[in-house]
Structure 1
Amino acid sequence: MKLDILAIGVHPDDVELGCSGTIASAVAEGKKVGIVDLTQGELGTRGTVDTRYAEAATAAKILGVAVRDNLKMADGFFQNDEAHQRLVIAAIRKYQPDIILCNAPEDRHPDHGRSAKLVSDAAFLSGLRKITTNSDGLIQEAWRPKYVFHYIQDRFIQPSFVVDISAHFDTKINSILAYTTQFNSPSTDEPQTYISSPQFLETVKARAMMLGKRIGVQYAEGFISEKVIGVSSFDTFVQNVT
């Protein structure tokens, strides 16, 4: 299955928090989008591996993505080494995305920045034909995506560009709330965490509003690009009221 966009998150819910509005927008445009989670989020304070899988499946259905996989790396302890790079390379070659969306290059959770570098390195190496990988017993062809974009997460990083998600903001919030063990669930006996309070979701909304204001729309998501973005026409630009 060839995808137009592959969104990669180190933990289930990273993609929903970081770029689910963009995903929903792309799906509405008819693009084929998939999600790959690197870990099962097994070190999370709340919930279990089983509940995270169920929540991730629900979120994927809300977003309308074509596929969601989990590479089952060790939460908190995976490394940017050959073994882990080969896992990501195999996923990239399996889905042949033109665009990869992945974690922020620097963030509050150390897994985020480490996975950003892992995915970025794997995306380059995936284009080298002398690196061999296989899937279902078949040798995979080399494939290098055209772009790797990093979504902004907890810490604010100046974006290279922002995407208008105004029409899909409710879908973004619903995909986040699919993680019922993680977000805004006051009836649970599990410990409160940094992300479990209603106030955390307000910061997600505020970030989207702030980024939207910068391009004259209601809500937006920001991305960091590893290379300069080119345009072929001034018609590409969204009107900016600032």
Structure 2
Amino acid sequence: MDGLKVSKANLTVYLHPSKSRDVSEAIFRELSSLLFTFSEALDGVVLAYDINSLDNKNAKILSGVIPYFGVPLSVDLLLFSPKPHMLLEGKVVKLSQESIHVVVLGFSSAIITEKDIREEFVYKTKHEQDVYASKSHKRHVIKVGTMIRFSVKSFDEEILHIYGSLMPDHTGSIHWLEKHSDLISHTDRNAKKRESEGELTTLKQDAIDGKLSPLDTAQKIKKSKKQKIQEES
């Protein structure tokens, strides 16, 4: 799944003098306070941490009314940082004609509205259960409890809410997608081939209409054909 990354960071944790008796415990508490919150400095939601080194001896006291002291440490952080067009996976917890509600990694909620569900899927009631069923593939069904793969449209960092999409062909029920990965790849290749052929037709028509010079036409058609050969190979 996209959106997960491990980041190595050198941090300085500032502690109150009253915590000097048990610095390690105080640092663990400070790091734990970062969990499942979005950090602008780290550009992600902290899911876990692992301290590599902790240097008590080089702790520095800060000047001020209350002399806090800073402890430098090296830490590995597991971050969740979803960006537009990334593919995420989650479990469907609610489904209606207007939207599909999903939980990602057990803590972040996501919603996919009707306008972001491709026409292939049709909402209906099957065996007294609401589902989104594919018109192209009878066994491709999304219902409550289904693990799905979807594309990210946007991410609300304050409430950790994701707005998703099922428009790409390679999104939907993970169970079905994994069983039919060859079919999805073939569909993607055909789509790219049609797009390439469409661009070539447009170039030729533009040349006929006088919108392109003969040199531009030859160069662009040559480039389009080269891309087509690379895709087919």
Please give the range of the TM-score, normalised by the shorter of the 2 chains: under 0.3
Q: Under a length normalisation based on structure 1, what TM-score does the superposition of the two structures give?
A: 0.21
Task: Name the one with the larger strand percent.
Answer: 2
Indicate the structure (1 or 2) with the bigger Cα radius of gyration. 2
Answer 1 or 2: higher relative contact order, Cα 8 Å, separation at least 6: 1
Q: Under a length normalisation based on structure 2, what TM-score does the superposition of the two structures give?
A: 0.22
